[in-house]
Amino acid sequence: MASGVRTLGRSPLLGRPRGLMALGLEDDMPMALEGDRGAWSLVSGDEIGLREGLAARGGGTGVELALRRFTPPAAPDRRALPAIQQALERLRRALPLPGPRLPEPETPPFARRETCDALVIGAGLAGLAAAAALRSAGVDVRVAEASRRPGGIADLYDGRIDGRPFADWAAAEAAALRDRDALIPSATAVSIEPDGSVIVVARDDPQRPGRPSLRLISAGAIIVATGFRERPLVFPANDRPGVILATAARAFLRRYAVAPGARVLVATSSDEGYRTAMDLREAGVAVDIVLDARADPQGPASDMAKALGTPVSLSTVVSGLDFDERRGELLGAQARNRFGEGAAAAARTLPADALVVSGGFAPRDELLQLSGLGAEDGLHAALGGPNAVGAVASGWAAGTAAAAQLGAAVARDEPVVEASLDEDGERIDPTPADFSSPDATSAFVDFGADVTLADLSRAAERRGPAGAAVARRLALGLGPDGGRLGADLPAAAFRALTGVDLPPPSPGRLTLAALAAIARLRED
């Protein structure tokens, strides 16, 4: 991004150019280290440590890459990849294997059984607060974190916990866990079993993430503190290179001093867009205007941005993009009044080389939904937030409840959080006109699986309001990002269309070899 590269690859089914839209767990353009193979080999570029001689590649098998090389690219508004390539992708998604590419013979992974008093899933502010409460109660606790960076996105926010900046507090709590060998980084909990055990895929070797180990962890209490994911906005061509989530843009800026562009537009329905706009302007990046879909935002971030002179257009949404297909660059965006009112009712074009978007946050609650367990079974949720105040409070409450269930008492005070409380964001659901528009064929809700509003509409017509059948038909959640980048957009769009919910996506799927390894553990 710093060198001006916008297009990093192409989408799996449509072959559309894609850039870096998100970081970490939600990255839909993951990469694999050269020489690494396996269902879990693809990781976000943000998770790959630089070293001399490093070589990495984008996702894709040799067959797929050859097909793309010797066939013309897809037209921007059609599902025009060769029939054989579409068939391969459909077949890959239909197989009961999680790999982002067609499966190949696999060595059974190393698997082991572990026990502890309490297992915390997630090492963001909520998970670290829960672990702190449990440690103070003398409980043997383990913390599994899917990324290699504990603390989540604490470093992207200003505020203090017990007098220390968020990131410093998180680093200290993570260090305390490491000292006790209680923190498991790069470890994804993929299933909470009916007996309360948790299957964890641990990518122990950062140079070979495609060769993970398996842990079957049995705990007296489980705390799910998996946090929130930022929601993209739905509009035509919302997958183009140059469109980036607000938290990802701020992460590039704060962690790497890299801006998403030289002239930026911000489109938002939450305070997160304003926070990123202020950071960009402070860094000297031109932010011409913030387009807020809400009619009357009153949060502290929006108030501060206005006070600092950031231009704002309320009740305004993006209705399309100007994109240079040949150069692969964003040129601008069309904006219009959301309600078709006033002088801005007609679409107007705003020049920009980057579009920062934020549709608020959706909880990462798939594990909870799929488990079927509750507090009476020893499963506790710590999903308050998405702000730091709610995260720490929910984590501490869940840790305290789990300790009490184990017969222990927390021996320290709850951390004191000093931070502003954002106004709740507004999710902008598609309207009937959005589904019937010709532009619905490029309005994506599942980016990794190349699923648009038009696909949902057609599938609902053929399958009826049967969420599970539609999800299978469209392979929702089976792209390289596991459906994570789209957050709850597919479910919200399908509910707006049919009034019926879609099943939650899988937190991660196990290969047959992994399932066999787990079965052997249970037999021993």
Q: Which of 47-61, 304-318, 335-349 has the lowest mean pLDDT?
A: 47-61
pLDDT over threshold 90, residue 158 = yes
Q: Which of 261-275, 331-345, 346-360, 430-444 has the lowest mean pLDDT?
A: 331-345
The answer to whether residue 35 sits within a structural domain is yes
Instruction: State mean pLDDT over 285-313.
Output: 90
The answer to whether residue 266 sits within a structural domain is no
pLDDT over threshold 60, residue 241 = yes
The answer to whether residue 510 sits within a structural domain is no
Q: Which of 88-97, 241-250, 387-396 has the lowest mean pLDDT?
A: 88-97
H or E element: which one contains 455? helix 453-463
Instruction: State mean pLDDT over 136-146.
Output: 96
Q: 74 and 146: one domain? A: no
CATH number of the domain enclosing 389: 3.50.50.60
Q: Which tops the pLDDT comparison, 152 or 95?
A: 152
Of all residues in the chain, the percent with pLDDT exceeding 90 is 56
The pLDDT assigned to 184 comes to: 96
User: Rounded to two decimals, what is the model's pTM?
Assistant: 0.89
Residue ranges of E strands in 225-315: 228-230, 243-245, 263-268, 286-292, 312-314
The answer to whether residue 433 sits within a structural domain is no
Q: pLDDT tens digits for 416-446?
A: 999 988 887 888 888 888 998 999 999 999 9
pLDDT band at 74 (very low <50, low <70, confident <90, very high): very low
Q: What is the 3-state secondary structure (H, E, C) of 380-414?
A: EECCCCCCHHHHHHHHHHHHHHHHHHCCCCCCCCC
Measured distance CA(339)–CA(359) in Å, rounded: 17
Q: What is the mean pLDDT of the chain?
A: 86
Boundary residue ending a domain (94, 119, 135): 94
Q: 87 and 14: one domain? A: yes
Cβ-based neighbours of 165, under 8 Å, separated by 6 or more:
158, 159
- Containing structural domain, residue 74: 9-94
Boundary residue ending a domain (94, 124, 142): 94
Using the structure block, give the residue that is written with the tokens 């009357």.
296
Say if residues 388 and 364 touch (Cβ distance below 8 Å). no
Q: 117 and 221: one domain? A: yes
